[in-house]
Structure formats: structure tokens, C-alpha cells
Amino acid sequence: MAQIRFQSVGKTYPNGFVALGNLDLEIADKEFVVLLGPSGCGKSTTLNLIAGLEDVTAGSLYFDSTLMNVVPAHKRDVAMVFQSYALYPHKSVYENIAFGLRMRGFGKEEIERRVREAARTLDIEPLLERRPHQLSGGQRQRVALGRALVRQPQAFLMDEPLSNLDAALRIAMRAEIKKLHQTMRTTFVYVTHDQAEALTLADRIVVMKEGVIQQIGTPEEIYDRPRNTFVASFLGNPPINYLDGTLSADGTRFVRGALSLALARPLQGQAGRQVKLGIRAEDVDTRQMNQMLTGRVSSVLPVGSDTFLGVDVEGATLFFRLGRELRAHEGENVSLSVNMSHAQLFDSSSGASLLWQ
Amino acid sequence: MSARAGALRGVFGAPVSRYDQASALWLLAPMLGVLLVVAVFPVLYSFWVSLFDLKLTRPQRVPFVGFDNYVDVFQDELFWQSVWRTTSFTLICVVAIMLIALAMALLLNEEFRGRRLLSAMLLVPWAIPYVANGLMWKWIYDSGYGALNGVLFQLDFIDKYMVWLGDSHKTLWLIANAFVWKEVPLATILVLVGLKSIPADLYSAARVDGANTWARFIHITLPALRPSFMLVVIYETMMAIRHFDLFFILTEGGPAEASHVLAWHVYVETFRKLSFGTGSALAYIMALVTLALAYWLIRTLGEKL
Amino acid sequence: MKRRLFLFFASALFLIYVLAPVAWLVSSSFHGEAEITSRPPHWIPHQPTLENFAAIFQARDRKVTYETRRKGDPATGGYIPSTARDLIPSMWNSLVVAVSVVLLNLLVAVPAAYAMAKIRFIGRSTSIYFMLTTRVIPDIALVVPFFLFIRTFGLLDHLGSLVITYLAITVPFSVFILVSYFESLPDELDKAARVDGCSRLQTLLRVYLPLAAPALVAVVLFTFLTSWNEFLLALMFTQTPKSQTMPIVVASFASDFTISFAFINAAGVLAVVPPVAMAVIFERYIVSGLTAGAVKG
């Protein structure tokens, strides 16, 4: 139904603030794309540009091959779910869902049919005559989804729709949204700052920072092959650990003080370069294997299924996730083996990855 | 609870429990006292007076007449005419105020340079005393040298100066205009407050749903403004029904009773005919009607909240 | 671009509607007697003069002589009355009354509003309805009983009678504004203060009052303006320039056909300047004082 293409798109506000700079992005038809980043990174702005709620100030936005720059929001064929749900308070649930269809001139029978079908899919049929203020947060969320569903639009836009829900509901809704995407077979563009959400839902993730795209890729690519320290830090819980150090003369080892770890693949011609080693919290093991690091335990935090271990290594404190059966005490010395094939290597000053570009 | 935490204390420091009757009474006492003296007492006293035939022209003889005064009032043709005039005046004013206030509030809700200036200027009509307001419009409406005649003449809408206030067909409308002009600012503020409380997201959702500007106005703005509108209607109805000042300054009930409204009727009866008995009865009827109207309005419109 | 144009025209219309009558009032007050009677009117006076204002401020010295009478157009009787000198003293009366009413309002309304907003007591909702009901009563209904009462006590023509009467029409609204505002302030402050040892009175004075500044300004403003502008009751209760307030004196000019229009307008301008100045200066307090809970209330 629709491919969405940003070509050198920029968005600058009248007061001079640059929200987006030179954005190039192609969202394929039927794809589930997640725009991920911290607040202020421009992800919501990008979504608003697709919806037409804000105007492009530079570049071109295309739906398939149609230029959309000057097409007003109410003439575009997209549906949107808002963080605050934005349900019409003076209309019943039925009317809320039907509104978009009415505006587009659908007949009464057609509207009735579609609304009931959507209500059935989302399990909100008994709520149709109620008003939004009589519903719980989760129910309102479904109504917001229903409002978007009935339209059968070219693209589904979602702006942090789950952030107002409690944890358990959020996880359940994630699965529902994923299922929705599979049944509807439409383009989904989803905005969030929650990296777990991005990893579970996305076909592709677009990581953004301060109006600039940092990396586009599948969840696996983003997680295993981050292009810079920002992307590496943003995904993964607890966040990736960094160690500053240098490369050995032959480019085969990472050296920091007494610590020396062999790289999975040697780097040619980088002798002596200042680098940052990235080790994810889950990439260590208590079994004694090849590449070891030793340090002193600074904190032990059991969290039910796992144990978080804080270890001081060569002057830096690293946090690792280990099994619940771990027995360790503060002040003890500990040796852990590092899975170097998962380790990341970045340039110390620019933060750019030396392994993947 | 630590030992340091003290007990809740009342007005003068003595510890109290959750229902703090004593404190409340002390704090309310001045207000209750004032209102009893200046509001409740006069109402009761005026009822008492209305049962007597008290004419200040012969104050020594004050016979008790029971409800005769009320009968006289209801049999007076002029009374019913004033009721009719008051009703039309009120209707014209409330409708005009609503429409103009809505338009002005919509304008002030937009963001643009100079909006603060407009807001500040908005209060000018509201601050002006009704007396000065009356004078101002009287001069504008003047049939010999007034500005209304002047403007219309210069724009070639009329070819000679007309009589305005003196024309009984136009009188109520002209007075209504002066009243509306002064009441609009407050109404605008009330509507503006309502406008500002509408979440921006609702408009975004409506745009995505395919609603153009007019549809958004009908489906989002108007429903959300119902509480504000209700407040404006109730308040302005109360103000218009009881209004006196402009009628005194502009036309003194004339010409030929064209602007003889209820408030004027009470004034004439009491302070020109000096018949306090019937005057009280009239005032009392007016008070009761106003109360009933306020109650009814709140009941019917308040439900829609 | 279309939007800019539209906003410009709408703003122009707005300003004309709101300001044009007042602008004309001001302009007229600077007209000399000859000019004021021109057809069509001179929107900006060709020969502006201060004689109308001079008459008000220096009226004590003026004597109505044959010469001064003749200056005007006899057809409109445009002369400046000797009673012009009453305007300034009447403004003083208005000021005295207004200030007294404001102070009394604050004394009476603030504690009551605090109680209704923050204290739970039996009869709470009744008091609120009672207070609102008293405002529904038209001023007319108060006139007769008050007049008789005041006359009996010989308090006619005394500023005090106005002050007391004005309380009836100002206290309910003051309480309403304050209650709305107090209700929007957090309850926890009250509990914290009282647990810390403050009596109710101290909580009110030390904690809530400083926070309620916008509402207080709104109350002062509303009360002052209502007192300053009030006409009907003043008409009833004052008889001589000794106690007449500004609206009465100004009204007396209007009903005299022989008085110059320019002069009447000048009197109007003077009557208008203080309240308008206050309103414009304190504009933002009016809005915020009104709106805390106003719509929900």
C-alpha cells in the first residue's frame, strides 16, 4: 500500500531550532519500522511529518511516488495512535472509532460493519456505548487502536502508545500490536524511547539522536553491530560497558594497564590507536576460558532471576549480568572470561565503531 | 509517628480532629455576619414592607394590606410590558455576547505578535463605569451631532442625520449594543479559558481522522466549550435582567416606555411615585424570579456538563 | 501567508470594536465648544483645547458670567456648569468608599474562603450555595429595605452606608474567586503546616496567603472596580455633593441639556481613567485569578 520516502528532509522551526537535519530514510511497504531515540531526538517530529501535522521545511517526502509536502493532514491516508490516546471526550467509543470514517464519507452500513469488526478484534465490543472517561487506561488504548484500525490506512503511525500503561499491560500490548501488524499487512511506523520495545517489535530500527539518524538496521544488526557508541549504549540493559585503552602494536590485542584481551579478528594498521572496548553485560562467564579479566567485586545485586555484579577492573567499574546461583562477596577478587567475538571496538574520540561501518 | 509530630490544630491552636467545626465557624463568622445583615435581612425586610401600603408621600398612615400590593402589581399593564421588554432585551444581549465573545476568544487563542496588546485592550470596556459607558454611547447616538450619524453620513449610508435613541423601534437595540459592548470582555475571558483547556492532541487526532478546519470546530471546539458557554449564559442573563444604569443614563425608560424594563419599573414605582409598598413587592417578585431562573438554568444547562 | 492576513484584519476589527468608542470619547473631550457641534464630526479636533478639563480642575475659581455663558452655541446650551467643581471631590468620595470596601472584603472573604476550601465541616456545601444565592438577588431588591433602614437612622448621605451596602454585592464574588483559587492549592501544605504546630489562622496567614497573590489581586481589582462603578445604590443613598460618588456627579451632567457635550465627555474621560488604568496594568491577574477553577465551578 505505501512506501514512505524521506529525501534530504529537514525541519527547522521559526525560532531557529533545527529538529531534523538532512534526513534520508526509506520505509518499505508493509514494514514495521521503529524510530528509536532519547527525547528531543526528532523521532516524534519525523512521525508528525509523515502524518502531515507539521510541514517539511527542506527536502521532499514521498508516499510511493507522490510528493506529499503540501498535502494537508486531513487529506492523507494515514492513521495515528497518540501517547495520550487523544480520544474525543464528548463522543462515545463507537463515535470515536467511527469519526474518521464519517469524515471520509463512508456509508452508515459500512461504518457499522467496520466499527463492529474492529471492536471485536480488539475485544472492546461491550464498551461501544461508553464515554472515554469511563474507561481504564488499557481500554482507552484499545479504542485508540480501533480508531486507527477501521480506517485501513496506507500507514499506521504510533507515537509512544504504550508509555502510559503499567509494565504488565505494556508487554501484553506489544504482542497484540505485533499480531496486528501481521494481520493488517500495512506499513507501521512506531516511535519509542524504550529499547526493549524496539527490539521486540521492529523489522528495522532507526536510531536517532538530535535530529540525525545514527543507524538503520534490523534489531540484530543494531544490537550486534552498532556503528557508534551512542547506538551501542542505547540498546542493551544494563548498558554496555566501556573500557578505554590502546591496541597492541600488532593490532591483535586490547591493552589497558595489566589487562590484555585478544581481539576476535585482528585490526590491520591500527597499532597503538586509542580505543574504547565495549563489553555487554551478558558477555562474560564464570567458567574459566581463554580471554579473562580480573578485578575486585564492588557490588552484588541479586534480582531474582539474575545477579548483577559490579567489578572494578583497572580503575573502571563494569557491570555484568550473571546467573542467580552466583556466590560472590564485596571486596573479593573475581575472574571472568569475556566473549570477545561479541565485543565492540570504538575510536576513543569519535566513538565510531572500528569493526562495522 | 514521631513524638515531634504535633496534633492538627484549629483556628486558635487547640488540637482538633478531622471534622473541624469550631475553626470553620470562627473563620466563616465575619462573612456570615455580613451577608446576614446586608443580604438576608433586606430580603426579609422588603417582604415585610411589601405587605403594607407605604407611600412616602403620606408616611404617617401605613395600613396593612396583605397581598394587595402584589395584586396591584400583577394587574398593572405596564408591569407585563416591562417583563416582555426585559425578556427581549436579555435575549438579544445574551445571544450577541455569546457570538462576539466566541469570535474574540478564537482570535485571542491564536499565537501572533501583538496578541498581548489585544488582551490588554480587551479590558478597557469592562473597566469603564456604566455611567461613563452610557454617556459615551449617548453622545455617539446623539441625533444632532453624534458620531453614529457622522460615520453613516460620511460613508453615504444615510443622507441626513437621524434620530436614534429617540426612535422607539431602535431604542432597545441601541441600549443592548451599549450593554453588550461592555460585557463582552468578561465573556471573552471565560470562553478563552475554556479554549485553552482543550488538549492540542485532540485537534491532531481529528486532522489525521480527516477533519478539516470547520469539522474540527464543530466536533472538538464547540463540545469542549459547553461549560464555558453555560457559565456565560447564566452570568450574563443575571446581569441583563437586573440592569439599570444604562436605562437611567440613556433613555430614562422612554421614549414612550420603549425602554421601560423591569428594573426601571421598580425604580419609578419606588423613587418617583414614592410608593414603597408596591415598590417592595415588585423588587421581591423580581428577586424571586431571578432566583428561580438561575436555579432553572443551572439545572438544565448544568446537566450537560 | 493567508493566515497572517486574516489575523491582521481580525485584529484590526477587534481593536476598532473595543477602542473606537473610547477613542472618540477622549477626542471629544479635547474639542472646543464650537467644534463639538460640527457636522460631520471632526474626528481629530482641528483646534484642540484643554478648557473642559480646566473647568473641572479649576471650577472653584470660575464664575458663570454673561461672557462665559455666551461662549457656547446657545442652541445646544453648551456651557460649563458650576457644578463641575463637584467632580473631583466626588472622585475622592468614590476612592474612600472603594478602598474601605476592598479592605473589608479582604478581612471578611479571605478567612471564609479558606474555611470553605480547606476545612471539612458540616454545612460546607450549604454555605457555598448560600453565598452564591445572595449574589443572585438583584441590587434593586436591596434598595427599598436599605433606604428605609438608613433613613430611619439618619445615615442618608453618609459614605458609611454605601460601604456597608457595597459589601453585599462584592463579598460573594470575592469569596467565589478565593475559594476557587484556594481549592487549586495543594491540601498537603495545610496538613504539613498544622502538624508543624500552626493554628488554622497561622496556616492561612503564613502558608496560603502568600501563595494566593494572583487571586488576591483579582479580588482587590474586582472589588475596587465594582465599588467605583456602582451607580444605582449610590443614587439612592446620596443626596448632596458631600457624599456623592463619581458616577452620580457624572450622571448629573448628562441629564442637563444645557451642558456642553465636550465638557460631559471630559468628565467621562476623568471618570474612566482610574479604573481603566488599573485594569490594564493588572490584566494578567484578572485572568489568572478568575480562571483557577472558574470554569469547573
Q: What is the pLDDT of residues C143-191, one digit of tens each?
A: 888 888 777 777 777 788 888 888 888 888 888 888 888 887 777 777 7
Tell me what percent of the residues of chain B surpass a pLDDT of 70. Answer: 92
Burial environment of residue C153 by CB neighbours within 10 A (0 to 12, 13 to 18, 19 or more)? exposed
Least-confidence region, from A110-114, B9-13, C208-212: B9-13
The residue with greater pLDDT, C115 or B183, is B183
Q: What is each CA distance from B60 to A131, A257, B63, B72, C215, in whole angstroms?
A: 67, 116, 10, 22, 50
CB < 8 Å to B227, chain A: none
HEC string of chain A equals CCCEEEEEEEEECCCCCEEEEEEEEEECCCCEEEEECCCCCCHHHHHHHHHCCCCCCEEEEEECCEECCCCCHHHCCEEEECCCCCCCCCCCHHHHHHHHHHHCCCCHHHHHHHHHHHHHHHCCHHHCCCCHHHCCHHHHHHHHHHHHHCCCCCEEEEECCCCCCCHHHHHHHHHHHHHHHHHHCCEEEEEECCHHHHHHHCCEEEEEECCEEEEEECHHHHHHCCCEHHHHHHCCCCCCEEEEEEECCCCCEEEECCEEEECCCCCCCCCCCEEEEEECCCCEECCCCCCEEEEEEEEEEECCCEEEEEEEECCEEEEEEEECCCCCCCCCEEEEEECHHHCEEEECCCCEECCCC
Does B215 touch chain A if contact means CB atoms closer than 8 Å?
A: yes
CB < 8 Å to C246, chain B: 129, 131
CB C263 within 8 A of CB B115: no
Burial environment of residue A276 by CB neighbours within 10 A (0 to 12, 13 to 18, 19 or more)? buried
CB < 8 Å to B224, chain A: 89-90
Q: What is the DSSP string of C132-171?
A: HHHHHS-HHHHHHHHHHHHHHTT-TT-HHHHHHHHHHHHH
Most B CBs within 10 A among C30, C191, C232, C295, hence the mutation to make, goes to: C295
CB C226 within 8 A of CB C163: no
Look-up of cell digits 455666551: C70
Q: What strands, in cross-sheet order, belong to the sheet with A306-313?
A: A284-285, A333-338, A292-302, A306-313, A316-323
8 Å CB contact of A74 and B220:
no
pLDDT tens across A247-295, in order? 888 888 888 888 888 888 888 777 778 889 999 999 988 888 878 888 8
- Classified as helix, coil or strand, C259 is strand
Q: Report yes or no for ipTM above 0.85.
A: no
* Maximal C-alpha separation, chain A: 76
pLDDT tens across A161-211, in order? 988 888 888 888 899 899 989 988 899 999 999 989 999 999 999 999 999
pLDDT tens across A200-225, in order? 999 999 999 999 999 999 999 999 99
Q: Given CA atoms A44, A49, A53, A56 in this order, what sign does their dihedral have?
A: positive
8 Å CB contact of A84 and B201:
yes
Does B16 touch chain A if contact means CB atoms closer than 8 Å?
A: no
* pLDDT, chain B, mean: 84
8 Å CB contact of A78 and B208:
yes
8 Å CB contact of A86 and B211:
no
User: How much is the pTM?
Assistant: 0.81
Q: What strands, in cross-sheet order, belong to the sheet with A274-279?
A: A259-262, A253-256, A241-247, A274-279, A344-347
> What is the rounded distance in angstroms from the CA atom of residue A338 to the CA atom of residue A343?
8
> What is the rounded distance in angstroms from the CA atom of residue A19 to the CA atom of residue A212?
9
CB A202 within 8 A of CB A190: yes
Does position B17 have pLDDT exceeding 60, yes or no? no
Kindly tell me whether chain A and chain C come into contact, counting contact as 3+ Cβ pairs under 8 Å: no
Residue window 183-222, chain C: list those with CB within 8 Å of chain B.
Answer: 191, 194-201, 204
Most A CBs within 10 A among B204, B207, B209, hence the mutation to make, goes to: B209
pLDDT tens across A57-95, in order? 999 999 988 898 889 888 898 999 998 889 999 899 999
Least-confidence region, from B88-92, B246-250, C231-235, C283-287: C283-287
CB B287 within 8 A of CB B49: no
In degrees rounded to 5, what are phi and psi of residue B85?
-65, -40
CB B107 within 8 A of CB C8: no
> What is the rounded distance in angstroms from the CA atom of residue A299 to the CA atom of residue A308?
8
Nine cell digits for residue A258: 595489566
Which amino acid is it at A88?
A: Y
Does B227 touch chain A if contact means CB atoms closer than 8 Å?
A: no
Name residues whose C-beta falls within 8 Å of residue A196's C-beta, 6 or more positions apart in sequence. Answer: A237
Whole-number pLDDT of residue A1: 57
Q: Given CA atoms C253, C254, C258, C259 in this order, what sign does their dihedral have?
A: positive
CB < 8 Å to C141, chain B: 42-43, 46, 283-284, 286-287
